[in-house]
Amino acid sequence: MTEHNFDHATVPASARPSRQRAPQFKGMHVLETDEPLLAILEPKEQTVLRTTGSYEDRARELGIPIGTVRSRLHRARAKLVALRTHEARAN
């Protein structure tokens, strides 16, 4: 299986997120079982996933623009779903 650089971590190609828009990610929750998968994400993506509240609340808490919160959440959620899918296929 081909390995690809997934930002700062190397993961199998089957765990790479698609480039499609993903409205299904809105409201997605991080589960306790996701902890090992979160370690694969960039620290900024881990932080934005673990922060709660509205986009505005997260932006205020993290000291970043709302647009940055939205883009980081989208990327982090897409990666987390891809990693969950890869893990489920592996088991």
Q: What angle do CA 32, 83, 13 make, to 5 degrees?
A: 165
pLDDT of residue 70: 94
pLDDT of 41 above 70 = yes
| Confidence at residue 1, expressed as pLDDT on a 0 to 100 scale | 40
Q: Give the three-class secondary structure for 90.
A: helix
Average pLDDT of the chain is 79
Q: Contact 17/78 with Cβ under 8 angstroms?
A: yes
Q: Residue 4 pLDDT more than 50? A: no
Mean pLDDT of 21-41: 73
pTM here? 0.69
Average pLDDT, integer, range 5-10? 53
